[in-house]
Structure 1
């Protein structure tokens, strides 16, 4: 049984029975208790289950967490991903950014001084165009498009001036702008680079969102971008949100984090990453500075 299939089965058991002990889950799914604990931890981070003493239970609500709650999760991983993403940005670019906490983290790191000094280790070469000069970035040299009010505020706080919001209906809990107006304005724009977040990433289901309207706007942003860069931390692996957004071979670059367990095991998502590379996207793996804590 693949990890994604196992987690789906685990969710079905919890939804049917409510609370189930770790021992019973391990027996039913024919895996170790350590594996069950890891699965419960991942699913709890996605807001799908609640870990309790000795076992787990279905979350009281399967809806997504609010932006204010999600932004404090996996902060080290999101920061590592953001730093690697910085070196894809070139002077003069128009950059679109989908709503999400990982893209919001990146927005906080997009500063003229960070881009000028080339923060982060240089990433593998993209085939889109040759790297431009690393001359000092001016605030006027980047244009931003986003359907996230939080991202727009973060960019403005860093001194950027050319920021365009799509407009549309304000949606909670993601604080995203969605609906026909957002889609219409997004269709009229072109971006060199899209930074795309995800609610879930699955090898078969692809990239997903918890909401149809949000997925629709983000899909338009993809269609209007020369290069789509998918940003997600390891807790999103195996997740399947309500709305399909794109298949993984539709994105050009993937930046995720190394998720080696603290007990010394190898990266539990090495198989998924290897398969993703075989499918075509350039895959960049960032390592959080707090991995050893």
Structure 2
């Protein structure tokens, strides 16, 4: 494929998906990842896309753009599954856990739906439905108690706002599993939604420990609203495609870094 055609295809993919991976583009275009990286560099110089770790996105789009659940649920599925399996190993019978909204925590819910009997508090309609109806692998066992807090619904199907925050202040959880929009050495863990940031901070205050679930594509992405600093979480679970520089920064700042093999 000629360079001009590749550039056009990359721009179309970025405009359609908002965020694309080098590996996906290489497969789509039938070229090497190195060729894709050079194309992305050229397109960035022209102001058409913005490079991120492992891919490209729309210029200036990440801070306030919030992709819908359906789109995000089709991206990085192997990495999210690996993270979910690792996170599920931390859950024991009788625990009261929090599950924030998002596709990675949804992947964790799929691992837990027929697992130990626990109490789940969530602000995700999707996760609550999953525990009620079961996953594609089988019906739910109905052994766990699920508490769905109320609030205003976001594009990613999170319930946020004053009602959600007020509900969380009355609860006491053993551990919170939280997904994020981005993670950065200076900005910490962030989201593109101001109300979601406030709700997630209330979630953290209700839990004895907080575990962040974030795949490698989240590194270097900065949403408009900060949730918390890197050093304020107890654990971070990410996948094995995270770069060495990012691993070093995170290992130096978060209390415990877990790498899940995708």
TM range (shorter): 0.7 to 0.9
- 1:164-243 equivalences under 5 Å are 164-171=147-154, 173-243=155-225
Q: Given the superposition, is the C-alpha separation of residues 83 and 40 from structure 1 closer, same or farther in structure 2, using an over 3 Å criterion?
A: closer
Q: Under a length normalisation based on structure 2, what TM-score does the superposition of the two structures give?
A: 0.75
Unaligned runs of 5+ in 1: 1-20, 29-35, 50-56, 116-136, 260-266, 289-293
Unaligned runs of 5+ in 2: 1-38, 135-139
Query: 2:123: which partner in 1?
Result: 147
Query: 2:108: which partner in 1?
Result: 106
Query: 1:54: which partner in 2?
Result: none
Inter-partner Cα distance in structure 1 for 2:93 and 2:99: 17
Q: Given the superposition, is the C-alpha separation of residues 61 and 193 from structure 1 closer, same or farther in structure 2, using an over 3 Å criterion?
A: closer
| Alignment coverage as a number of residue pairs | 216
Query: 2:97: which partner in 1?
Result: 95
- 1:25-174 equivalences under 5 Å are 39=52, 42-44=55-57, 49=58, 63-112=65-114, 115=115, 137=116, 141-156=117-132, 157=134, 158-160=140-142, 161-171=144-154, 173-174=155-156
CA root-mean-square deviation: 2.6
Residue among 282, 285, 290 paired with 2:256: 282
Q: Given the superposition, is the C-alpha separation of residues 144 and 61 from structure 1 closer, same or farther in structure 2, using an over 3 Å criterion?
A: closer
Residue 170 of structure 1: how far off its partner (Å): 2.1
Inter-partner Cα distance in structure 2 for 1:66 and 1:201: 19
Residue 77 of structure 1: how far off its partner (Å): 0.3
